[in-house]
Amino acid sequence: MSDAPVPARQRKVMSRLQEIRRDRRALRNALDHFADAGAFVAAWGSEDPDTINLRDQVERPYERIVNDLQELIDLCEAEDADRGVPEPEGSGPDQPGRWRRAALRGHLNHAQSARWQAIALGRQRLAHHYVDLAEHQATDIYERANELLSELPGAVRGLGGWIEGLWPADDDA
């Protein structure tokens, strides 16, 4: 067992993974309050404080999961850069987004990358909630939140491989 201190970046990565596990449960619990997208749409435009609180319970874990995953990618990219790992093929001057860069590095597939970009856009829409926005936006957010939950295990597996490659588990532990 190694007594070497855990690098700060690695500690942040482990912390984000724990937060993702916690927030996944919170998001599942929040979505369970809505029978379907129609119930979420009704809550979207509600003036009732209790209903607003139920709706808002979806926002925080959704936002934190997306932010934590994006930070994981950023931390792994920073570690790669510090280790002199070259930029992935195809990441030229157009600077693809972090989800696509993770796919170019082989840690997500391109279909996952596209789905996570849509999920991240849903997070932005949810964070900038306005009652008068179209009903389809509330439906889209509900669908993206459920998609986040179904896509999360694959994303964590893919990014987990990257993380394990950067910071292998201590086999003596």
Tokens of 65: 């999961």
**CA dist list (Å): 78 to 19, 75, 86, 95, 119:** 20, 5, 11, 15, 23
Express each pLDDT in 122-149 by its tens digit: 887 777 766 556 677 888 889 999 999 9
Fold (topology level) of 8-86+98-166: Four Helix Bundle (Hemerythrin (Met), subunit A) (1.20.120)
Give the mean pLDDT of 1-15: 85
Residue of 103 and 122 predicted with greater confidence: 103
Express each pLDDT in 33-92 by its tens digit: 999 999 998 888 888 999 989 988 998 999 999 999 999 999 999 999 999 999 887 655
The pLDDT value recorded for residue 79 is 96
173 falls in which pLDDT band (50, 70, 90)?
Answer: very low
Tokens of 122: 């849903």
Terminal-to-terminal C-alpha distance of the chain: 5
Express each pLDDT in 150-160 by its tens digit: 999 999 999 99
Q: What is the DSSP letter of 88?
A: P
pTM listed for this prediction = 0.88
DSSP assignment of 49-63, as one string? HHHHHHHHHHHHHHH
Query: Domain ranges in the chain?
Result: 8-86+98-166
* Cβ-Cβ contacts under 8 Å for 101 (sequence gap 6 or more): 73, 77, 88, 91
- With b for 16 or more beta-carbon neighbours within 10 A and e for fewer, the 101-140 pattern comes to bbbbbebbeeebbebbeebbebbeebeeeeeeeeeebbbb
Q: Is the pLDDT of residue 93 over 70?
A: no
* Cβ-Cβ contacts under 8 Å for 133 (sequence gap 6 or more): 125
Q: How far apart are CA 47 and CA 92, in angstroms?
A: 48
The pLDDT value recorded for residue 132 is 57
The pLDDT value recorded for residue 1 is 52
CB 2 within 8 A of CB 170: yes
CB 19 within 8 A of CB 140: no
- φ/ψ (deg, to 5) at 60: -60, -55
Tokens of 87: 């930029």
CB 100 within 8 A of CB 89: no
